[in-house]
Amino acid sequence: MSVTRIWVFDPANNTDHEAFGLRGRPNATPEWAENRGPGWASPDPEGSGPRRPRRVRAWMVVASVIAVVAIVLAGLGVWQALRVRGAVASCESMTSQATAAGTKLTKLVQSDEMKDAEAVTADQVEDPDTVTALKDALQDADGTERIDACTVEWYALHPDRIIELPAHTKERFESKREAVAKAVDAVVASRDAKTLADATSALKAKTDQASTLLKDSDGKVQDNATRDALGKAIDEARKLLDAGDDAKAMNDASAALDQATAAVNDSVKAKSDADMKAAAEAAAAQAAQQAQQSYTPTYTPSYSDGR
């Protein structure tokens, strides 16, 4: 007589046991212990011992997959949130830099240096094109630039792109400021170059004239100290001409030469007037003396009746 062996699965130990091998040894095979469903070990007629279920329950696989997917999604959510937060922070920082660049541009346009450069006309500079370039740079700097708020959707694939607009705005502000600053420097440099050239030319001409006067006035001045002052002014002017780098000093030297030249001319005129007066007085005295010497008085004798 063959004996049917009934097996049950023990989930606590992950093993199979004979139903009648359990404690208490039931007299009849429990309904719940029969190998009726798939996945249970079939009866072992040969008595080879218990065997494990042939396949894992499906719900365990599904639960594992769901858990893995949930973990991955959670990780992706955290990663995306960090990306968005970092992009917004970077955008706000760049927006602040763009605003600061715009403020610097505005300050330059409204500065006293700019007003001074704008007042320069084409006839005051060595290169008139610099004046035109400054006007063009100011006109370009007068344009408006937009700075948007740093907002980005949480699901954006490239949240870091929100930094591009403020970055470009910052670059444009800096480019405009650089162009204006260069234009201002060019105008000022061209004006200074022409000022220096004009001062050099004027001082050289006056130095040459003063040198000629100093030579021609020798012995012809009423006060020789004026010629000494003119000579010193000429020496100072020549030093400045040799250096050739100080327009203001040259203009001052030109004024000093004018003053010294005028003093010598006045002294020459004073001596000339004095000499003419003295000559006239001498001539008058000599004429008077000659007239006195050439005069001979004539006497006529008179006779009375009592002779």
Q: Which residue type sits at 143?
A: G
- 167/66 same-domain check: yes
What are the pLDDT tens digits along the chain (307 aa)?
Answer: 455 555 565 555 556 556 555 444 444 544 444 444 444 444 444 544 455 554 556 777 777 778 887 787 666 666 666 677 777 888 888 888 998 999 999 999 999 999 999 999 999 999 999 999 999 999 988 877 777 777 776 666 667 778 888 888 899 999 999 999 999 999 999 999 999 999 999 999 999 999 999 999 999 999 999 999 999 999 999 999 999 999 999 999 999 999 999 999 999 999 999 988 888 888 888 888 777 776 555 555 555 555 4
Contacts of 9 (CB under 8 A, 6+ apart): 15, 16, 40, 53
Residue 221 belongs to domain spanning: 196-277
The verdict on 86 and 166 lying in the same domain is yes
Contact 195, 226 (CB under 8 A): no
Q: Which of 24, 39, 55 is the last residue of a domain?
A: 55
Evaluate whether residue 165 is within a structural domain.
Answer: yes
pTM over 0.75: no
Same domain, 99 and 182: yes
Q: Are 70 and 129 in the same domain?
A: yes
Distances, alpha carbon 191 to alpha carbons 109, 116, 128, 270, in Å: 19, 11, 9, 43
In angstroms, how far is CA 232 from the centroid of its own chain?
Answer: 46
